[in-house]
Amino acid sequence: MSRKRDAGIDGVLVIDKPAGMTSHDVVDRIRKRFGTRRVGHAGTLDPDATGVLILGLGRATRFLSYAQASIKRYRTTAVLGVTTTTQDAAGEVVERRAVNVSEAQVRAVAAEHTGNLDQVPPMVSAVRVGGERLYKKARRGEEIERATRPVTIYQLEVLSFNEDPPEAVLDVRCSAGTYVRTLVHDIGASLGCGAHLRSLRRTEAGGFVETDAIELDAVEKEHLLPLADAVRDLPRIEIEDDAARLVANGRRLELPSADLVEDDHFALVNHGDLIAVYARRGDELVPERVVAPN
């Protein structure tokens, strides 16, 4: 027996995720509120973290990977002098050290942790090793060797520094897949006193900023954004009606400009409506995701 497909609800919600909920908890809440199973999110936030969480409903779920791969921005508070088992405030204290660093030293070390870096994923992450997620191993008290992963820190600014208690508020603009808790941990190691992440707020993702986000309890259907906002961060190419019909059928297109970068992705829109996401391959634009008809 075929399952009845949800229909009629497409679009994007930008939620200000509250602390104390998983990203999946938020998805479940929206499923119940909108009466549809077809809801997904574009990048997990830890339960204690807050801020921008992009949700896709209906056909938008197929396009969430582009927002998930986008550059993210966070505001975090780093507590100096204390390391924990999870690299954040939820873990057990591993070590306490005296903190004898100045604001200038913190800024200098922050600058050293900007650019292309190799990170070791924390044991509490969802990275799979040997077919099992690391956090499941961590729950059993296991600690295993993890391969490093390349990340990019585009911007790392010290917004404030306090000597008593010793802590720094950081503004981090980074590539997808960056573990901010690990960044804080590594900064503490470079300072020689250790550090852990006390709070984390995502302030930007997928072309949205925190002022775009709606409190979860206040979300209504009027807050649902168009399907095209699922790929807000991608450059757009406006196409005519004739080309839109070809694109809807997954046809390749001639390259409209030699300036388009190889392998880059582009949102193809017609009268403001998303038709598909294409990528440059040689002298053509080829389809990656096409909006299915309702």
Catalytically annotated residues: 46
Helices (H), 131-284: 134-139, 180-191, 241-248
Q: Six-digit token pair at 232?
A: 């807000």
DSSP states of 164-203 as a string?
A: TTEEEEEEEEE-TT--HHHHHHHHHHHHTS-EEEEEEEEE
Which helix (H) or strand (E) is 14 found in, with range? Answer: strand 11-17
> Cα–Cα distance between 230 and 14 in angstroms, integer?
10
Phi, psi of 203 (to 5 degrees): -105, -10
Backbone angles phi, psi at 59, to 5 degrees: -65, -20
Extract the tokens encoding 64: 């969430």
The residue type found at 91 is: G
- Give the span between the Cα atoms of 277 and 286, in whole angstroms: 9
Residue type, 169: V
